A = this chain, B = another copy of it.
Amino acid sequence: MFNLCWADEGGLPAGDRGLAYGDGLFETISMHGERGVLLARHLDRMVRDAARMGIPVALADLHKACSAAIFRYADRYTHRQAGESWVLKLTLTRGEGGRGYQPGPGIKPNLMISAGPMPAAPATTGVAADFSRVLLTVNPLLAGIKSLNRLEQVMAAREIGGDLFEVIMSDTAGNLVEGTRTNLLLKTTDGWVTPPTKSLAVAGILRQWMVERLRARGDRVTERDVTVADVMGSHCLGLYLLNSVLGAVPVRALAGQDLPVDDGLATIFNPFELLE
């Protein structure tokens, strides 16, 4: 079991390893009133990835903490009639202290819960994106984990300004991997394409859901490396940026070049149908 800490009651202890080393992971969940979009998948991911990091947490305990958070925060953000939206954030860390990088024996994880307003929805007519100059380096041991080590994303996000909604980061081999806060999904003349899970810094909830949904309806979805030519060439029928809070966002311009905008995914991902 973890210690439950509320962000609005001071948050985590000063010696928490989340601050010291980024030794933890987080989930950001789109809430509508008392229900969350793909809530169970978010909690499943946190349990699974915490286990990869060696942080013990039980799914049932996370669900209970979420219920407590909803009881605490839903009223604050919700006119129950209107079902207003808010964002629930869970930050799970290995706990407090230890001898440097080594945690002490019997260390107990900390779970910090916070709530915030929903960000503005991106334009459904498409957004502008650019290539990031910040390389993405992914350690195989930590690939896909939404850990608290997000400095590369922070540095890349500094390139976002003006009309830009996102920048897309590449690995050392030059493959396009993901945006600072979004996964990539490409519609091509040969079906859907998304970079492979093992290459990802963060394996997003919406990406996984979308791959499953598309396959379930019979679409071909291929996980493979994505090059600039894949996106900029004539085989590209549309590029989407996926984020479980922001949705499936079509890119209308990449590095100043117009891309075809296909709004097909907007009709597939309806967050209000995915409340749990």
Chain A residues close to B by CB (< 8 Å)? 5, 7-8, 10-23, 26, 53-54, 91, 94, 99-102, 112, 114, 119, 134-135, 137-142, 147-158, 160, 180-181
A22 touching B151, Cβ below 8 Å: yes
A148 touching B15, Cβ below 8 Å: no
Please state the number of chain copies in the assembly: 2
CB-based nearest B residue for A133: B141
Tell me the smallest distance from the CB of A69 to a CB of chain B, in Å. 14
Query: Are A151 and B154 CB-contacts (below 8 A) given A119-B99, A137-B137, A138-B137?
Result: no
Picked from B11, B21, B22, B138, the residue with its CB within 8 Å of the CB of A13 is B11
Q: Which 9 A-B pairs have the closest CB atoms?
A: A11-B14, A22-B22, A101-B157, A7-B14, A21-B150, A149-B149, A137-B137, A19-B19, A149-B151
B residues less than 8 Å from A137 (CB atoms): 137-139
* Max chain B Cβ within 10 angstroms of own Cβ: one of A5, A54, A152, A181: A152
Picked from B53, B91, B160, the residue with its CB within 8 Å of the CB of A20 is B91
B residues less than 8 Å from A119 (CB atoms): 99-100
Picked from B20, B22, B112, B135, the residue with its CB within 8 Å of the CB of A139 is B135
A91 touching B21, Cβ below 8 Å: no
A14 touching B12, Cβ below 8 Å: yes
B15 touching A114, Cβ below 8 Å: yes
A151 touching B54, Cβ below 8 Å: no
